[in-house]
Amino acid sequence: MFAIAIHGGAGTLSRAGTSADQEAAYLQGLESALDAGYSLLHEGGSSLDAVTAAVVSLEDNPLFNAGRGAVLSRDGLAELDASIMDGATLAAGAVCGLRHIRNPITLARRVMDRSPHVMLVGEGAEDFARNQGVELVSNEYFRTDIRQRQLHRLLQGAAEKENDLLAHGPASGIDAGMGTVGAVALDARGNVAAATSTGGMTGKRWGRVGDSPIIGAGTYASNGGCAVSATGHGEYFIRAVVAHDISAQMQYAKLTLAESVKNTLARMKALGGNGGVVAIAPDGEIVLDFNSEGMFRGVRSSGGRREVSIYR
Amino acid sequence: MFAIAIHGGAGTLSRAGTSADQEAAYLQGLESALDAGYSLLHEGGSSLDAVTAAVVSLEDNPLFNAGRGAVLSRDGLAELDASIMDGATLAAGAVCGLRHIRNPITLARRVMDRSPHVMLVGEGAEDFARNQGVELVSNEYFRTDIRQRQLHRLLQGAAEKENDLLAHGPASGIDAGMGTVGAVALDARGNVAAATSTGGMTGKRWGRVGDSPIIGAGTYASNGGCAVSATGHGEYFIRAVVAHDISAQMQYAKLTLAESVKNTLARMKALGGNGGVVAIAPDGEIVLDFNSEGMFRGVRSSGGRREVSIYR
């Protein structure tokens, strides 16, 4: 048994105002990311390599809020966060506040594999990248027209209800300016892994960091529990320690993965948050769940499961 | 019933090479921090205010690795991290990579109370501080002679075994250049809270961040479980999601606080880490535990418990 599940963000995705062409492009992006990860698993590769490959594919796709196509901060810059975790060893790597790293998830992986640290931040993280021979790119590489327009719209409204917009995010259309990409996988050796990458929240400022680079919140993996990658309103995912909370319920309360996910998302929603997760357990149970209107998501398993979808 | 427990860091504290005067100064620093927090609880104040006051006291004391007296990065700068969490509401605030904020814990508190965010990083976090009318200080405010000498010693040895030193930290004396300060409290209304603040690791670079500003790792509080503040080798505390893992075992496995702490520290030690925690549950159970040679620690309760200590 081996499998991979991915997400490309969750939020207020409305069918109204979204063309069939747009939907098809998102679904194709999800298929490509599944291809990248699943083909490695099929060749006997590790869950860690599979989630890395899937997230790189989503980072390179300008439709999703990670890597190229990331949303822009109030200063008009892309600021990228990512994290990765190996369920077999509990090794982890995380980076945040990057402005010049093409694939943040591969830098998170290098932090895990080649440094004594787990989390590196900002310019220091980019110094580490240089030290590792990683090519740095201009911030312009990440910026797309659609993200510039989203920022412009946000800033136009911002004078009136600044905190409200920052707290709740812009709320219309399929490209609503929040979101994250992520993947979880189970390989043939029974090891799980998780990876998450994001551009954060349109118009963010003050060095705001969400849950994506936080081990335990946006990303967690343990063969003793499960692997989780989260997407949604990051502040609530940090406060509910969502990814670890799901794994902990399997480990300590002996719940199934589906029950654990349901309980954690309910508690997070009670705090006021919305979003979703993809999760996989060593026994092969796979869950893609969310309390928002939609979540870009996909799954492929050696058991023959193969789906991509957006809405409920 | 109300109580407060604090720590001032854990690590390779050796009685040999430590004078009675030095020990007395550390113990006095712990007493002062307990005074600051306990007096608020005694007047009917909240656990949140008590942990804030205790941590401010430890930040202001140059003996401890937080605020003034923080260890220095490879560039010779103090870079400060802190986080705080309210067990009644699961509200949380965190800041990291600060260079000009006298009391990082009070900025973490402001992030929690006055922003829609949980975590702010680096210069952005300091812009938020300015926006809030917080006075910024020169980085020189934090730097003490002893920390300059520790950095110098580390860098002299660093040419030979650079990663090893960064991974394990310098390993001698009571002021060994690692450590954290923190507090947990239970107030008369039955609410728990936790707060943690640090200068990180001597000679750190690449924007390295440990567990102290990570909600779930270095700090966690929930009335449904317990409040925890951790200190030690941060990378392992992040990977083991120590603070939340302790609370989750109480909540999901129905273990006592002491059992939960013991299990989590054992798992963290199995990964290779060392350090300790202070923790308190809404029923009044208090635990100060560590797997290192010592931990600066203290506790005071309305039940009459009153101690400060360093070694096992």
Secondary structure of chain B in the HEC alphabet? CCEEEEEEEEECCCCCCCCHHHHHHHHHHHHHHHHHHHHHHHCCCCHHHHHHHHHHHHHHCCCCCCCCCCCCCCCCCCCEEEEEEECCCCCEEEEEEECCECCHHHHHHHHHHHCCCCEEEHHHHHHHHHHCCCCECCHHHHCCHHHHHHHHHHHHHHHHHHHHHHHHCCCCCCCCCCCCEEEEEECCCCCEEEEEEECCCCCCCCCEECCCCCECCCEEECCCCCEEEEEECHHHHHHCCHHHHHHHHHHHCCCCHHHHHHHHHHHHHHHCCCEEEEEECCCCCEEEEECCCEEEEEEEECCCCEEEEEEC
Query: What backbone torsions phi and psi does residue B218 show, to the nearest 5 degrees?
Result: -90, -25
Would you call A241 and B235 a contact, using CB atoms and an 8 Å cutoff? no
Q: Is the ipTM of this complex over 0.85?
A: yes
CA distance A57 to B92: 33
Whether B214 has its CB under 8 Å from any CB of chain A: the answer is yes
For the stretch B212-241, pLDDT in tens is 999 999 999 999 999 999 999 999 999 999
Query: pLDDT grade, residue A165 (50/70/90)?
Result: very low
* Best to test chain A binding among B95, B208, B250, B264 (most A CBs inside 10 Å): B208
Helix (H) or strand (E) holding A164: helix A145-168
Size of interface A-B (CB pairs under 8 A): 152
Domains with residue ranges and CATH for chain A: 3-311 (3.60.20.30)
| Interface test mutation site (partner A, options B81, B107, B119, B263, max chain A beta carbons within 10 A) | B119
pLDDT at position B137: 97
A 121-180: CB under 8 A from B: 121-125, 127-128, 131, 163, 166-167
CB-closest option in A127, A163, A253 to B253: A253
Residue A298, both tokens: 């996909």
Q: From the CA of B127, how many Å to the nearest CA of chain A? A: 6
Could you give the residue numbers annotated as active site of B? Answer: 180
**In this predicted structure, what is the pLDDT of residue B172?**
42
Over residues A240-254, mean pLDDT: 98
Please give the torsion angle defined by the CA atoms of residues A74, A80, A81 and A84, in that order, rounded to the nearest 10 degrees: 160
Nearest-by-CA chain B residue for A87: B239
Which residue in the list A89, A106, A144, A180 is annotated as catalytic?
A180
Q: Is the pLDDT of residue A166 over 60?
A: no
* CB-based contact A205 B124, cutoff 8 Å: yes
Q: Which residues of A253-274 are buried (b: 16+ CB within 10 A; e: fewer)?
A: bebebeebbbbbbebbbeeebb
Give yes or no for residue B210 having a pLDDT over 60: yes
Instruction: Output B167 or A258, whichever has higher pLDDT.
Output: A258
Residue B119 has its nearest CB partner, among A167, A238, A271, at: A238
B216 touching A, CB under 8 A? yes
Report the C-alpha gap between B132 and B125 in whole angstroms: 11
pLDDT tens string B19-61: 889 899 999 999 999 999 999 999 999 999 999 999 999 999 9
Contact B208 A238 (CB under 8 A): no
Share of chain A above pLDDT 70, in %: 92
Q: What is the mean pLDDT of residues B279-305?
A: 96
Sheet harboring B294-301: ordered strands across? A208-209, B119-121, B92-98, B80-86, B192-198, B181-186, B3-11, B294-301, B306-311
CB contact under 8 A, B241 and A240: no
**Best of B112, B121, B222 to disrupt the A interface by mutation (most A CBs within 10 Å)?**
B121
B79-120: per-residue pLDDT in tens? 999 999 999 999 999 999 999 999 999 999 999 999 999 999
Residue of B nearest to A73 (CA): B124
pLDDT digits (tens, 9 = 90+) for A32-69: 999 999 999 999 999 999 999 999 999 999 999 999 99
Nearest CB partner across the interface for B241, out of A121, A215, A252:
A215
Closest alpha carbon within chain A to B116 = A167
The answer on pLDDT for A219 being more than 60 is yes
Tens of pLDDT, residue by residue over A92-121, are: 999 999 999 999 999 999 999 999 999 999
Q: Do B119 and A92 touch (CB under 8 A)?
A: no
Is residue A248 within 8 Å of B252, Cβ to Cβ? yes
Which residues of chain B make contact with A125, given a CB cutoff of 8 A?
206-207
Candidates B204, B220, B78; CA nearest to A119 is B204
* Angle in degrees, 0-180, between the axes of helices A104-114 and A47-60, rounded to the nearest 10: 150
* Burial class for B159, CB neighbours closer than 10 Å (0-12, 13-18, 19+): exposed
User: Using 50, 70 and 90 to split pLDDT, how confident is the model at A178?
Assistant: low
The secondary structure element, H or E, covering residue A6 is strand A3-11
- Would you call B74 an interface residue with chain A, using a CB distance cutoff of 8 Å? no
Instruction: List beta partners, residue A286.
Output: A280
Strand pairing of A275-280 and A227-232?
Answer: antiparallel
What CA–CA distance (Å, rounded) separates A58 from A198?
10
pLDDT average, residue stretch A191-215 = 95
Interval B183-200: pLDDT, tens: 999 999 999 999 999 998
Chain B residue with minimal CA distance to A96? B121
Which of A111, A131, A252, A256 to mutate to test binding with chain B, by most B CBs within 10 Å of its CB?
A: A252
By CA distance, what is A242's nearest residue in B? B216
Range with the poorest average pLDDT among A222-231, B161-170, B255-264:
B161-170
CA distance B124 to chain A (A): 4
| Alpha carbon distance B7, B51 (integer Å) | 11
Q: How far is A48 from chain B (nearest CA, A)?
A: 16
Could you report the per-residue pLDDT of A128-139, keeping only the tens digit for each?
Answer: 999 999 989 999
* B149-175 pLDDT, tens digit each: 888 888 887 544 444 444 444 444 455
Name the nearest CA neighbour of A209 among A127, A97, A71: A97
**Inter-chain touch B214–A119, beta carbons under 8 Å:** yes
